[in-house]
Structure 1
């Protein structure tokens, strides 16, 4: 794979700094009159805050998706794609459900989802990564503050900020069961983190991320004039968040498990190059090498 200049250096040693974003947030155009489309107010909200929440968007899909995930959970037992909690053998993440389930893969090409993604990214896209995030009741542990792009840039070679994650809530997400926390506006900053990345870092980071996590003093600077927002909602809520948005989640301290199904879309004009952390690429289930543009599935 070709290399190119590193506009977003990170994990180069002991120094940590905040770098201004050098890429657009919204690449696409105005709303369309045919098919699913985001309105101008929604595009403006995404550009300013780095995420969108669409309540009650696809509730009819929840039960079929849950059934499919439960089947995958049994079929993939013992595979690397299943990641457990850092302190137990309870399920934390299932990676690459799109690769194992045609039903899930078609869901992420649904006419109510894919056009929105193309509109925001301004191009055809491919499915870079998919996963189920599972927060068991009482024992589901936190995810530290991080930018997805920082990891994808350093460990996978994603060159620019032209990707996003779309996800559907498969259970209620409320204040007490470890909801996703975001910092609106933080996607316009890039935290160049300290440390250096070892080979196969993913084998430990998927259970507990340490590298790519901004230091407390950096987070104090980010939060100086920004607030933390919890993304909550009912099953069927669709969320889209920008690749560089700082986000994390607390422990699940409730009796209610939390489950979401996610897909990362990358622009076909933003194909990975050699990882900027001078590493071998991570496995395909974390960053797909199939860059074929995806097409709309039947509704």
Structure 2
């Protein structure tokens, strides 16, 4: 259970860092399964611009039971429910590896504007739970956040430049103009969020964030669970994105009564 101070911090800043939530054994297993998914040819994968490295794998909770259990693990689920003040369902899961020296940038954006424009999400009552599967450092592609930017409505300041969910996954489809970014940065400042593997960063669907390239010699792997408030379910749209990118299964997520590694340990 989160403290009142933690809830207040999230409400005011748009993000919350929770160190060392998952054990080394759990992270080792999650990383091993994530590596297998990254190396398996699948339509769930999106490649970097060079066409050789994996940029993202979507819908990982549909691909292996350990990731499905992770979405129902109380350490990930309960903070999401508390911060959204709501029951939740899974809008999306995403594995985001950044290869040494070549893991590319994800530009500044608000997740909600992607999900609103591409998926029919009505409002920003949605958040991301980012589980660090590697040590995330200042050099290997941490998550940059503009604190308090989740209160900014940037519909008119965000333009759409490309078609197709693959381009959206590349991070270049909906771009906030530089004047707006400069103004908000000058007003609110910037933070770089990094930490030990097994830690969790939670951030609001409307907070401005990005991640720089991985300039280090080591991997940087983060697994994202996107929980949406149950009353904020996607509206019907033409040509919806694939189910593994934007789920239309609005079943309430309930906490698992099994250990995370119950079927995979050993």
User: How high is the TM-score relative to the length of structure 1?
Assistant: 0.82
Question: Which structure 2 residues correspond to residues 211-222 of structure 1 after superposition, within 5 A?
Answer: 211-222=173-184
- Contact 1:53 1:238 (C-alpha < 8 Å) held by counterparts: yes
* Aligned position for 1:139: 102
Identify the match of residue 290 of structure 1 among 232, 235, 249. Answer: 249
Does the C-alpha gap of structure 1 residues 53 and 196 become closer, same or farther in structure 2, counting only changes over 3 Å? closer
Identify the match of residue 66 of structure 1 among 22, 31, 34. Answer: 31
Shift, 1:88, TM fit:
3.9
Question: Which structure 2 residues correspond to residues 1-150 of structure 1 after superposition, within 5 A?
Answer: 37-60=1-24, 61-74=26-39, 76-77=40-41, 79-150=42-113
Tell me the distance in 1 between the aligned counterparts of 2:135 and 2:37: 21
Identify the match of residue 228 of structure 1 among 190, 201, 214. Answer: 190
Instruction: Please identify runs of 4+ aligned residues in structure 1 that moved more than 2 A.
Output: 70-74, 193-198
Tell me the distance in 2 between the aligned counterparts of 1:167 and 1:232: 11
Q: How big is each residue's C-alpha offset from its partner over 1:227-252, in whole Å with a ceiling of 9 and x where there is no partner?
A: 11111101011111110010001111
Tell me the distance in 2 between the aligned counterparts of 1:297 and 1:230: 32
Larger radius of gyration: 1
- SS of the aligned residue for 2:184 comes to helix
* Aligned position for 1:179: 142
- Contact 1:85 1:91 (C-alpha < 8 Å) held by counterparts: yes
* CA RMSD across the alignment: 1.5
Greater fraction of residues in helix: 2
Shift, 1:55, TM fit:
1.0
Does the C-alpha gap of structure 1 residues 232 and 195 become closer, same or farther in structure 2, counting only changes over 3 Å? closer
User: How high is the TM-score relative to the length of structure 2?
Assistant: 0.92
Q: Structure 1 stretches of 5 or more lacking a match?
A: 1-36
Q: Structure 2 stretches of 5 or more lacking a match?
A: 260-266
